[in-house]
Copies of this chain bind each other. A is one copy, B any other.
Amino acid sequence: MLRKRSVRSVVLSDSPSTGGRSTLLIVAAFAAALLVSIQPAAAQDPLPSWNDTAPKKAIMAFVERVTKAGAPDFVPVPERIATFDNDGTLWAEQPLYFQFLFAIDRVKALAPQHPEWKEKEPFKFLLAGDLKGALAGGEHALLEIVVATHSDLTTEEFERVVKDWLAAAKHPKTGRLYTEMAYQPMLELLAYLRANGFKTFIVSGGGIEFMRAFAEKVYGIPPEQVIGSTGKLKFELRDGQPVLVKLPEIQFIDDKDSKPVAIQTHIGRRPIAAFGNSDGDLQMLQWTAAGNGARFCLYVHHTDAEREWAYDRQSSIGRLDKGLDEAKERGWTVVDMKQDWKVMYPFEKK
């Protein structure tokens, strides 16, 4: 900020009386533009939607510790890896994971091509609007719905289907597009970390191709930094043109114990900061915390029944029970959404 200010004052105070000087002014203005784009605006609050409570202070203190050249906890840029869960951490996840709401809509859209679903569980329940009946089949029913709605398409066709759904479908409570329900404080946090040399990754139980359809636009996270659950893919030539077809088989479920495995396989470097909201993220936080040097682990705790939803230990979606205990024990940062966030969603700011 010091540099930026001095550049500006020079630009304003020097008058362009000579050719040399005006060149100089252009150069200085150019330098100022460069500095503005390169330097994070330190004087501006990088996290304006966070209240000035403990979590915001802890985040900023950590970033300062690891980015200050010569400091004992300095971390070189290539090692500044931060991993984020998606559902319930970067965007909302109630009343059901948004990807599952997509799958339900897709069952309805595909039903004419599957007359057998009228008689078949769990599809017949979904088609009759009986969500409870559909989910009574537990994990097996869930998987069957996801597999049926996420396969037998090429990867490009699937991307189009997801993008079309995201552009039109509305959330039952807010009436907003699902992508409008990313948490504003987390969007600021992602940008703040990146401005400080961090590479931000999603490490989520959600489907990798579902998330990639919006992660770059909504979070600024490119597809190669999105890690998630995957289905099997098959390479084939169709009329001489290569395509990748989504097969109806699960390849990898990116949850719990599998999150550190996915981080190792995909990133190959241990994060120095990790952000989650449920017990499914606990191993990712443990793995992150166990590295040498400064580490930062944060849980988003859903405490705001009014602006969002309040749930933790008893919830079937995003249960936070063991994780909450371990966070307290180990001094990890826990965000109380009601207390710590000024704004929940970007649309509240308008």
How far apart are the CA atoms of A234 and B283 in the complex, in Å? Answer: 12
How far apart are the CA atoms of A275 and B216 in the complex, in Å? Answer: 26
- A78 surroundings in chain B (CB, below 8 A): 216, 222
Q: Is A110 close to B, CB under 8 A? A: no
Q: Tell me whether B242 and A287 are in contact (CB under 8 A).
A: yes
- A242 surroundings in chain B (CB, below 8 A): 260, 283, 286-287, 290
- A209 surroundings in chain B (CB, below 8 A): 268
Q: Chain A residues in contact with chain B, CB under 8 A?
A: 3, 6-7, 10, 13-14, 20-21, 23-24, 27-28, 30-31, 34, 38, 78, 81, 155, 199, 208-209, 212, 216, 222-226, 230, 233-235, 237, 241-242, 244, 251, 257-258, 260-261, 264-269, 283, 286-287, 290
Choose from B23, B216, B264 the contact partner of A244 (Cβ within 8 Å): B264
Choose from B20, B216, B268 the contact partner of A208 (Cβ within 8 Å): B268
Q: Tell me whether B269 and A224 are in contact (CB under 8 A).
A: yes
Known: A28-B31, A242-B287, A257-B235. A266 touches B266 (CB 8 A): yes
Known: A27-B28, A242-B283, A242-B287. A224 touches B14 (CB 8 A): no
How far apart are the CA atoms of A260 and B237 in the complex, in Å? Answer: 12
By Cβ-Cβ distance, the 4 closest A-B pairs, closest first, are A223-B268, A31-B31, A235-B257, A224-B267
How far apart are the CA atoms of A6 and B27 in the complex, in Å? Answer: 9
Q: Tell me whether A235 and B31 are in contact (CB under 8 A).
A: no
Centre residue among A31, A199, A251 by max chain B CB count within 10 A: A31
Choose from B3, B212, B237, B287 the contact partner of A235 (Cβ within 8 Å): B287
20 extra A-B contacts, CB within 8 A, seeds A78-B216, A224-B268, A244-B287: A3-B27, A6-B27, A7-B27, A14-B21, A24-B24, A27-B27, A81-B224, A199-B224, A208-B268, A212-B268, A224-B267, A224-B269, A230-B265, A233-B264, A234-B257, A235-B258, A235-B260, A235-B283, A237-B286, A242-B260
